[in-house]
Structures are given as structure tokens and as C-alpha cells.
Amino acid sequence: MASIVVSSRHAFSRHTLLANSLSNPRPHLLARSIATTKSRKDGEHVLSPPLIPMTPAQTAPPQRRPLASMPTKTLLRGYLLGQIFARPALMNLGIMVMQKISSSKSLLLDPDRNWLLERAIRYSVFNQFCAGSNKREVKGTVTGLKQQGFSGVILCYAKELAPEELAESRPDAALVEKHVSQWLDGNNKTLQMLGSGDYMAIKYTGAGNAVCNALASNIAPPDSFRTAVFSLCQRAQAQGARIMVDAENQAYQSTVDRWTVELMRRFNRDGKVVVLNTYQSYLKSCRDTLRQHLALAQKEDWTLGVKLVRGAYIQSDPRHLIHDTKVDTDRCFDSIVEDLISKSYPGLPSDAPFPDAQLFLASHNAESTRHALRLHRQLVHAGRNPRPFESGQLQGMADDVSCEMLDEGRPARNNGSAEQRLAAPLVYKYLSWGSVKECLHYLMRRATENQGATERLKETVVEMRNELKARVRGGRA
């Protein structure tokens, strides 16, 4: 545990203070809990004076209606689905049905061939969580989100190789080329739908069994895959888009990290970020992995792209690699955010400037997101000139968190000074696109995530119900 929860009484009390201040915000404690830190030679944290004093107005929960900007149709669909997801029996039944459809060979259960089934899935879960099936639909969804105030999207192609295509443990050269070509084609289509500032999410394992074998063996990727991923980075760079490399399960993740560091080393130069790696704070090794990558960026003078999440593979990753409690995971997540934003990561060489790093906060946790934004704003107002604050949530999930962040930034975006605009959060939504059938596995993962976040989902449903009531009373047409 020492690799994650910093090994000192000072560090423990600091994070305990953080947890207490988030659950019971008191101005003087919260200001102290998000103070900048210094690094001793032994890697311990020590508290420094806060950058600026916090006021009660800054720590009080927002009194706005966070979902006021959400289209009524989307809000109503989300509320109805939330009522289902919050009931375990209905949720389990829905997952079983989707599993049956996704694995069936029957034409009757093929949504790409059965029009009625396709419509049923499309107008329920597909339209709630996915961007569309073609360029026109995706463009419409993205345009709608940006009109709502989102800074951009994180878009991924949902198609995955069929199990029979992955069954060949030693695929021949022709099959390797076919799989890589299909993967490249899908991601090129995705890039065509993105504008400047948007993100594309990619998964290395989608490129076929030869790539999966290389990941599992911790060896270099096939030449065709290396060429393909380099071409995607070059194209994204040319059009002002960026690439997020999604996390994989622990059988592959160390190699994913190594390959992605190679991409960042090549493309994240001169302060510009093209590639971000995903770091999962539920892993006990997360802080140490991030420290190693920061040290490389510091030594070699490139920018580390950090997409920070809590974790995506808790049902399949070995349990001993994961923090013992959710409190430990939350503490790890929040401490990493503090250290990256305040540029004070323990264990880095102190005889060189802090490495350049772009943090993307991928979180459905409202308190963590608010806390990170407060610290970011302190640095802005203190003239520390941090990188822009970027955060994102999955489409159809944690909409109250997304919309609250939109409200936080809307005044500055509409009519603010340069400092106010830098202090405003940039908010994104993560979406998948493809045919209904291609998106089924993605939809099942979203259902499973909702299954494990029932209490959080109930809070969102309450927010949605309150917003719908307000609109019925005339709060919004």
C-alpha cells in the first residue's frame, strides 16, 4: 500500500483531512487540504501554506439546477432508464437479454437484420449512450453536445473482432494485415468525424490477435500495427485532434504503457499534446507507474498526457493488485490530481523543472471533480498559469456532474477575461459509434458499470426527477 498512500504521518493526515473536508466542507480545512506540497528527498509530503484563502461561497454546494441545459427528450429517456438501472432485478434481466442477443447466430436476434429489434435497442439504450451509426448521425450528436456547451467529445469506434476471428492463436501474415487494416479503417473514419480539440479513444486490442499476443508477451508490436498507429497520430496532429489510449486488463497493461510512452515521446513535443495514456487509480501501482513516466518526460523533455480514471476492469483484474477499499482508491485518485495540478509529485528529481503534463480528469465523482476545479482555480488566480482544466464523463452517465461543470464555466466562456476563461472547466463526453450490433458489447459494459454504481445512479435519478418537475412547473420549455 505504501506505493499509493504516501508513507508518512503527514501524508496520511493530509489525505484524511481531504476526505473529511470533502464530506463536510469547512473553509479553513478545505483551503489547507488543497494546499500546494513540497517534496522531501525521502518522497514524503509536507503541507505548505494555501495559495489563496477559500471563502464559504467557494465551498458551498452549487444551488443551480445542473441539468437545466439538457434537452428534455434526453432528460426523460435518461430518467426512465435510470429507474430501470436502479432496480437490480430489471438490470440483471436487461444484461441477460443483451448477452443473448450479442452471442446469438439467429437472424431473428441480429439487430442489424431485424428492423424491429434494431429500433427497440436504438430508441432505448443506444441513443442514450452512443453517438450514432454513421457520419451524419454522429455529426448531429456531436453538434448537439457542443451547442449545449460541451467543449468537445471523446469518440471511439465500437466494432470488435468476432470471437472466431480471435480464436487463431498464431494468425498468418494475411490475417494480421486484415485485422490491422480493419482497425485502422475504423479509426480513420472516427477521425473524419472529429474537429479541432476533440479526442479519439483507441484500444490496441481491437487490432487483432497478433497485437494481443504481442501485448501479452511484452514485446514490440507487429510492424503493420506500428505503422498504422503512427499514421493515426500524424493525422490527429494535423487536424488538431488528440488520441486517448484506453486502459486494458492487467495481462496487457504494462505493454500498453510502454507502447504509449513511445508515442508520447515522439508526438508530445514543444508543449503540444497529441497522445494521452490512461492511468487507473484503483491499482496499487498507479502512483509509482505515473512517477516513472513523469521522470521520463522530465529527463527527455516531452509532455506526459494523463487520462486519470478510477478503474475499468475491477471484475477481471487480479484482486491483490487493486486497493483494499474504495476509500483507498478515492484517496489515491485525489492525491494524484493534487500533485499533478500543483506540480509537486513526490519522488521526482528536484534538480530539474517539474515535467510538463496535461491532466484529463475522467471521473463520475462530483466531489473529486469539484475539488480538482477548486485547486485549479486557486493556481490560476495565483498567477501559476496551469494547463486548461479538462474533465469528461461517459455519454448518458453522470450527466449531473457534466452539466454542473458546464454551469461553472459558462459565464467565463460567454463573457470572461483571459484569466476567467483559463479558470473555466472544459467538459467532454465520451461516446461510441457504430451499428447497433457493433455497439452491443459497449452497451453491456455501460450496463455493468451502472450495475456497480446503484447509489450514485439513484442520486442522478433524483436530480433528473427534480429537473423534470421544474420544467412541468414552467422552469424550462
Across residues 248-277, what is the average pLDDT?
A: 97
Dist CA 332 CA 323 (whole Å): 9
Q: 185-220: buried (b, 16+ CB within 10 Å) or exposed (e) per residue?
A: ebbeebbebbeeebbbbbbbbbbbbbbbebbeeeee
**Would 36 be classed as within a structural domain?**
no
Instruction: Provide the percentage of residues in the chain whose pLDDT is more than 70.
Output: 82
How long, in residues, is the chain?
477
The count of other CB atoms within 10 Å of the CB of residue 418 is: 8
Q: Which amino acid is at 333?
A: F
Question: Is 179 domain-assigned?
Answer: no
Mean pLDDT in residue range 437-462: 76
pLDDT tens digits along 68-121: 888 899 999 989 888 887 787 887 888 888 888 887 888 888 898 899 999 999
pLDDT tens per residue across span 414-425? 777 888 888 999
| 414: in domain | no
Give the whole-angstrom CA distance, residue 294 versus residue 352.
12
Choose the weakest-confidence range: 37-41, 169-173, 270-274: 37-41
d(CA 84, CA 472): 22
In 3D, which of 177, 162, 60, 152 has the Cα closest to residue 104?
Answer: 162
DSSP letter, residue 394? E
Over residues 170-177, the mean pLDDT reads 83
Range(s) of the domain holding residue 114: 66-131+443-477
Residue 244 burial (CB count, 10 A) = 23
**How far is Cα 339 from Cα 1, in angstroms, rounded to an integer?**
18
How many folded domains does the chain comprise? 1
Question: How far, in Å, CA of 132 to CA of 272, rounded?
Answer: 30
User: Residue type at 471?
Assistant: R
Helix (H) or strand (E) holding 418: helix 418-423
> Is residue 83 situated within a structural domain?
yes
Lowest mean pLDDT among 242-256, 264-278, 434-448: 434-448
Residue 110 within any structural domain of the chain: yes
State yes or no: pLDDT of 412 exceeds 90: no
Q: Check: CB of residue 199 under 8 Å from CB of residue 241.
A: yes
Phi, psi of 465 (to 5 degrees): -65, -40
In a domain, 474, yes or no: yes
- Cβ neighbour number for residue 86 with a 10 Å cutoff: 18
- Whether 365 contacts 37, CB under 8 Å: no
Pairing mode, strands 304-309 and 275-280: parallel
pLDDT band at 166 (very low <50, low <70, confident <90, very high): low
Taking residues 22-41, report their average pLDDT.
37
Q: Is residue 78 part of a domain?
A: yes
Contact present, 282 and 311 (Cβ < 8 Å): yes
Statement: residue 163 has pLDDT above 60: no
Axis crossing angle, helix 72-85 with helix 440-451, rounded to the nearest 10: 60
Q: State the average pLDDT over residues 136-147.
A: 95
Average pLDDT over residues 314-338: 94
Instruction: Classify residue 363: in a domain, yes or no.
Output: no
